Every structure is written in C-alpha cells, then in structure tokens.
C-alpha cells in the first residue's frame, strides 16, 4: 500500500511539472491595442444664443459638474477639485484638460481593450454684446471604429441632437428658467 501511495505521489508530481512546462511555453494572448490604424475624426460644432451676459451664463452653467443638471444625468467629482485642470468627473471618467475664464475642455480616458477615440469636448460662453452671449459646444472624436458611413452618420446625428438639447437646457437655466423633468430612460 505504501508503495502504491509513493507511486501515485510521484505520478502526480510529474504531471504537475509537465503541466507547468506546457503552461509556461504557451504564448500569452497579445494585448488588445487601443491605437486606431486609420482614424476618421469628426467635429460637431454647436451653438445657441443666450439673453444674458457671458459671465452670468458661465456662473450659472459652467462649473465642471453642472453637466449633471443640464444633461440631466448624475455627476460627481471623483478626483481633484471642480473647475481645476486634472479634475475627473463621473461622467465617462472625463478629465478636465484645459480652462479659461469662460470655457473648459475635457477628454475621455483610454479604456483597456477598447480603441481610443480621442474624444474631446469644449464648452464656452462667448460674449456677443454687453447683455447677450452664445454658448458654444464643440466635440471632436474618431468614429472609425463604427461599422460603416451610415453608422458614423447616425452616431453624429444622435450626438448632435443630444448635445443640442443640452445647450437648450443651459439656455433655459442661464436665462432664469427651470428644466422640465428628464424624459424616462429606455
């Protein structure tokens, strides 16, 4: 019986050594690249006139997490301080990468295993007269990872509509109004 146990232990040990050699000789899976070989950048420039001075408009809708109110989605600062370059908000993990007195620019972070689309957005309150201004929202991103031109056009149209609604909401808020409840999410 003891000889049988010794033989079994030796066989199990040999099996482990063999399996370890096989496992170590296998090539690990190649990491998925985030680099896009042939990007197709699209820009979506949007603007809306506001019947308030730019400084007042910015004070009402220009804080980095104000997006939560006018986009009607949750937003919290997850790192850094609201309004400071380097702040990260919970909306798509967006990082504040630039700001002026009446504008900011943000980007979305690289996600492991997904192609990076270089998504950036800039929101600006631009003076027009002493009593009026316009809000300018510009998006730029690579949409080459979408299936075809029809999918890219559909994506651009949907983003344009969604961000135009956000600008209309900002206008309402900046001019002293209140937003209706958000539509039910599907």
- pLDDT tens digits, one per residue of 107-149: 998 888 888 899 999 999 999 999 999 999 999 999 999 999 9
Across the strands, what pairs with 52? Answer: none
pTM: 0.80
Residue that the structure tokens 């010794």 belong to:
6
Residue 54 or residue 31, greater confidence: 54
**CATH number of the domain residue 88 falls in:** 3.30.530.20
14: its two tokens? 């040999």
Rounded to whole angstroms, the Cα distance separating 80 from 97 reads: 12
Which parts of 103-186 fold into alpha helices (H)? 149-174
- The domain tally of the chain equals 1
Show the domain range for 157. Answer: 41-174
Rounded to whole angstroms, the Cα distance separating 179 from 62 reads: 16
Q: How confident is the model at residue 31 (pLDDT cuts 50, 70, 90)?
A: low
Would you say residue 10 has pLDDT above 90? no
Evaluate whether residue 74 is within a structural domain.
yes
Evaluate whether residue 89 is within a structural domain.
yes
78: its two tokens? 């997850």
Rounded to whole angstroms, the Cα distance separating 90 from 71 reads: 13
Evaluate whether residue 79 is within a structural domain.
yes
Q: How confident is the model at residue 61 (pLDDT cuts 50, 70, 90)?
A: very high
Run of H or E including 122: strand 120-127
Mean pLDDT score of the chain, rounded to an integer? 87
Contact 103, 127 (CB under 8 A): no
């Amino acid at each position: 019986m003891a000889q049988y146990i010794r033989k079994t232990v030796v066989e199990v040990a040999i099996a482990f050594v063999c399996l370890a050699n096989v496992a170590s000789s296998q090539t690990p899976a190649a990491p998925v690249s985030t680099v896009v070989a042939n990007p197709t950048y699209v820009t979506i420039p949007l603007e809306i006139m506001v019947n308030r001075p730019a400084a007042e408009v910015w004070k009402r809708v220009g804080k980095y997490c104000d997006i939560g109110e006018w986009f009607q989605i949750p937003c919290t600062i997850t790192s850094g301080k609201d309004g400071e370059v380097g702040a990260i908000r919970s909306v798509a993990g967006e990082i504040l990468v630039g700001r002026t007195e009446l504008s900011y620019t943000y980007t979305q972070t690289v996600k492991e295993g997904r192609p990076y689309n270089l998504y950036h957005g800039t929101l600006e309150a631009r003076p027009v007269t002493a009593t009026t201004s316009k809000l300018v929202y510009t998006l730029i991103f690579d949409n080459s990872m979408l299936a075809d031109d029809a999918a890219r056009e559909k994506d651009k149209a949907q983003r344009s509509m969604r961000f135009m609604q956000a600008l209309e909401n900002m206008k309402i808020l900046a001019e002293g109004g209140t937003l209706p409840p958000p539509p039910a999410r599907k």
